[in-house]
Amino acid sequence: MDPYATPSHSGVRYFLLIVDDFSRKLWVYPQKTKDEAFENFNNWKRLVENQTRKILNASKLIMA
């Protein structure tokens, strides 16, 4: 993964792109360094897990 030759005004040179193959939903995380990828991935994973949990709880309430 090569950085952009010219960073943005905020110093971003990399992008982490996560694609959900099923829904084709995209998440884009701008990054100043490659080191941020693991933290951004963990944040994304936590977000998706929380959303999934909320959807499951809502569906249980609807079915009750």
**Whether the predicted pLDDT of 59 surpasses 70:** yes
Domain extents in the chain: 14-63
Model pLDDT for residues 9-49, shown as the tens digit of each residue: 899 999 999 999 999 999 999 999 999 999 999 999 999 99
Q: What is the pLDDT of residue 45?
A: 97
**Whether the predicted pLDDT of 1 surpasses 70:** no
CB 38 within 8 A of CB 29: no
Report the number of secondary-structure helices (H) and strands (E) in the chain: 1, 2
Strand partners, 26: 19
